[in-house]
A and B are shown apart, each in its own frame.
Chain A
Amino acid sequence: MAHDREHIPVLTAREAGLLGCGHCGRVSAAGTQVCQRCGFALHGRRPASLQKVWAWLFAGLVFYIPANVYPMLETRFLGTTTSSTIVGGAIDLAHHGAFLVAAVIFIASVLIPVGKFLVLGYLAWSIQNRVALSRHRRTQLYEAVEFIGRWSMIDVFVVAILAALVNLGIVMGFNPGAAAFFFALSVACTMVSALSLDPRLLWDLAEGTGLE
């Protein structure tokens, strides 16, 4: 139903020679610098949107490597210390039978970040190239990535909570590992990447051609 609407001819603010505000929707005359309603800077399309998306995405990807190589959590139990990586921690949980929590950690720390790299890369690529997926579907992907990205932070919080709470001297305790730092950086970078993407670019592609 929504897909039929996608090809309804619509006059865009840019085609009409106007500037639409990406925050409040107010329409201003071309050449206006700052939106009169909300005070955010006005851009027909955000400048260098795609370059920023790629740059932050790449930074996020680089930080994601040490995040998976270094230990996320060091566990002290009766004198012995073991350390586990992000994936290792999820596997340990599954071995202990806590499948639901193992799944939460795996989804938040592996599936969501990796999915986000792929989706953001695909969306940025799709703006420069012809793709089969409809603009509507890609807009849904964009909104999903923007909404869900922050939830990757769960594992960093879990590590902090464990380290703060479980500190019983030599009997038992947790220490955060270096991976927590890199993982948090990676999540922050991909959040900025998603925020840099101007969704209007997704709709510009087929403007004037009617179909894509």
Chain B
Amino acid sequence: MKHETLSPLVDGEGELIACNICDGLHRVVDLPEGGRMRCVRCGTVLLRNDIRSLDAILASAAAMTILVISAVFFPFLRIQASGFSSSATLTDTARAFAEGLTAPLGVALILVIIVVPVVRAVALYWALLPIRLGRPPAPHARKAFRLACLLRPWSMAEIFIVGVAVALVKVGGMATVSFGPAFWELTLVTLIVVLESSSFCEKTLWRTIENTSRS
């Protein structure tokens, strides 16, 4: 069971932390392994002490990079109907919007399903790997982590795979569909995103980065 700490109010000495949801002030307490400190008023998790979360984030970032990049080169779906056949890769998908009004959408699509997930993963690695290895932080580690935080809502690889599933059903009645290797890679991406988001606590990670820069 998770050990939950409702942090005490601000009497006494020690570091303060403000809740990012309700602005309530709290005194930082030492958490046991696996423990969490929540805002006494709104219940938001303020800090958590879980060394496995760094591993989970780094593993996710590595897997995400490999999977998304390789999914660019392999087709993820292939269909056959009336003697014709065709297949689609991630880049084909973006190119579907190559004409007229929808052209900018093709660029946006490449950004949210390929570029942003990969850049974000690299930035996370840059900022957090040295910390995990107990080394001093890399140059510009804070800048890299800031980028990763800003890009977070715009990384949509996992939404794309749900779109693939929906498209499958739409075409299913008209043609024979078979899965390419990239389909399974993208399915893995979805699981990885879930794993990462359950480990990602921005306030804790910022504090970790700060503490390692000092020593």
Chain A residues in the interface with B (C-beta under 8 A): 2, 5-6, 8, 10-14, 16, 18, 20-27, 37-40, 77, 93, 96, 98, 100-101, 104-105, 135-136, 139, 146, 150-151, 153-169, 171-172, 176, 178, 180-181, 184, 188, 191, 195, 199-200, 202-204
Q: Is the CB of B9 within 8 A of A166?
A: no
A-contact 0/1 string along B146-166, CB 8 Å cutoff: 100100010010011011101
Q: Is the CB of A195 within 8 A of B163?
A: no
Chain B residues in the interface with A (C-beta under 8 A): 9-10, 16-25, 40-43, 46, 77, 79, 81-82, 84-88, 92-97, 100-102, 104-105, 108-109, 112-113, 142-143, 145-146, 149, 153, 156, 159-160, 162-164, 166-167, 169-171, 173-175, 202-203, 206-207, 209-210
A26 to B163: give the CA distance in the assembly, Å: 39
Q: Is the CB of A150 within 8 A of B207?
A: no
Q: Is the CB of B9 within 8 A of A164?
A: no
Q: Is the CB of A38 within 8 A of B146?
A: yes
Residues of B within 8 A of A16 (CB): 10, 25
Q: Is the CB of B163 within 8 A of A23?
A: no
Q: Is the CB of B96 within 8 A of A176?
A: yes
Taking the closest CB of chain A, its distance from the CB of B82, in whole angstroms, is 5
Q: Is the CB of A153 within 8 A of B159?
A: yes
Given contacts A160-B96, A160-B97, contact A181 B24 (CB under 8 A): no
Q: Mind listing 25 A-B residue pairs with CB under 8 Å?
A: A5-B40, A6-B42, A23-B20, A23-B149, A26-B206, A37-B209, A100-B169, A101-B166, A101-B169, A104-B162, A139-B21, A156-B109, A157-B156, A158-B167, A158-B170, A164-B92, A165-B77, A165-B88, A165-B93, A165-B167, A171-B84, A172-B84, A178-B100, A181-B104, A203-B24
Cross-interface CB contact of B24 among A10, A101, A195, cutoff 8 Å = A10
A139 to B114: give the CA distance in the assembly, Å: 32
Cross-interface CB contact of B101 among A104, A166, A178, cutoff 8 Å = A178
A119 to B93: give the CA distance in the assembly, Å: 32
Given contacts A37-B210, A181-B105, contact A199 B20 (CB under 8 A): yes
Q: Is the CB of A37 within 8 A of B207?
A: yes
A6 to B143: give the CA distance in the assembly, Å: 35
Closest 7 CB pairs of A and B: A20-B18, A157-B163, A24-B206, A163-B96, A203-B22, A168-B84, A165-B88
A154 to B190: give the CA distance in the assembly, Å: 14
Cross-interface CB contact of B143 among A26, A39, A153, A199, cutoff 8 Å = A39
